[in-house]
Structure 1
Amino acid sequence: MRLRLTALFVTLAMSAARAAPAPQPVDIPLASGVLHAQLYKPEGAGPFPTVIALHGCGGLGSHSDAVLPRYRDWAERLLKAGNAVLWPDSYGSRELGPQCRVKEMHVKARRERVADVAATRAWLMKQSWVARDRVSLMGWANGASALLWAVRPQSGARDLAPDFRAAIAFYPDCRISAGLGWSTRVPTLVLIGADDDVSSPPACRQMVEGAHGRSALARIVVYPGAYHDFDRANTPLHAAGGSNDAAAPERGHLGTDAEARAESQKDVAEWLAR
């Protein structure tokens, strides 16, 4: 009986693995080089609403995964809702590993990563399966900081294609943007935990509140008791500084908050459906 149950569990696990969608690698032209990306796309001809998703400082993938589980989870969730999801790999494309603990970053959120966003958008505008008026941006941590730069009015594309429909930033570092009088040209949602000691919830509040009256719609949701990476599944709360993980920040605390994770999933769905 035990052998039969074991065999059943193995069969179910294999079925689940087969059912999980695999991303398709794509290459996007850059002014200097090629931007590698991973695409999750619904079956069919479309056109599909599409999300450009920006990884954090730990990078998009690993030696064994083209897309890390934390990002794959979001990709599959968005895919089930009918979206295509495209993940540009800002670090791997430049033969770089995690950048969380690198003192001199060669790929900056406000520079190279904004250029990656622009190149990715330009590539999508040429794809027949893309709903060109329903392309949105999502980003996590360093990717969210890049998003804040990419949606500023000064960063708007000069072509005639539709602009981003919406933007969602998970726990960005808002301190520089708040000090520079940030504003956005597209509806932007900032999601952060109240106890995030990697990023700064007060700076994000200041940034969003300061944009009112001179910006497209900007909103912030602060989840009580939640820390950095609250939406990442199955991650016990721990101090980042006590880890040798090069893909983790140098300071602060990281960990899942089940309530904030569930609420953020609803908030994302509602913001994208606007």
Structure 2
Amino acid sequence: MLEKIEKVLVVIQETDKIESLLRQAIRLCEGHAAVMEILYIHQSPLFELPDYFKRSETEGLDSERVEKEIETTLERLGNTSSYAIFIKESETVDQVLALDKGEGQTCIISFYHEEITPVLARKVSSPLLVMKSEPKMYEQILFPVDLNENNAAFIRDMKTLFPSASIKLLYEPSYIVENYIFDTDFAALPLDPAVDMELDQEMYEEQKEEFEALKKETGLPGELVNEFDMDFIEYINTQQADLLVLHSENANFLFEDTISKELLSAIKTDLFIF
């Protein structure tokens, strides 16, 4: 469970994202009295374009210049939190994992990256805040659930982490069918379409009741999203939300390689994965 953020780990891969990432990190640090660790990962520009942070065309990364740029930005943004800066030139995921030791209450912040973000989402032990746009206060949060017994605790964490936000619960009935298909021994069931439809309807009604009970227990609004009316990702993108929360225990199937990349790419809002 994540009840408090004690450290914010900022992962910077693109120089033009420095200010946006630091601005969001400062907001989180101030809200939770957290310290900040800033990890700058240098990647060679495509097509050998001039690199602002290189000493010259023949020399490597100018770490002092990078550090000065970050420090100047922090000062300009009015940062008051303690911080440490790490400048690296190797693999992003490996460097993040080296700093994400699973100790304490850490939140990792990075901008979305097509190849790296899905890997980080699966491998890091700390929550991952993925930015898709400019920094903002999170006021409208969507939280898809699959009705496991820990949901109420997860929701309490979200209320603590984002106290000023309105949280809306989502449940997609197709989750039932997918879990049912993978967990059921069909050899022991009669081959009768009417029986299958009856079982599906019974499961749907049971889950609907559980979802209503969860809404009542947490005092949060919620909505059943029927995939036959609208694709789940399309539904998310039509909502006026600032943040989509995904929990790996709630939606393991979202973290299959192909689905994960599609989901993380197609969602337009920022994502909080924990």
TM-score by length of 2: 0.30
Higher RCO (CA 8 Å, separation ≥ 6 residues): 2
TM-score by length of 1: 0.30
Pick the structure with more helix per residue: 2
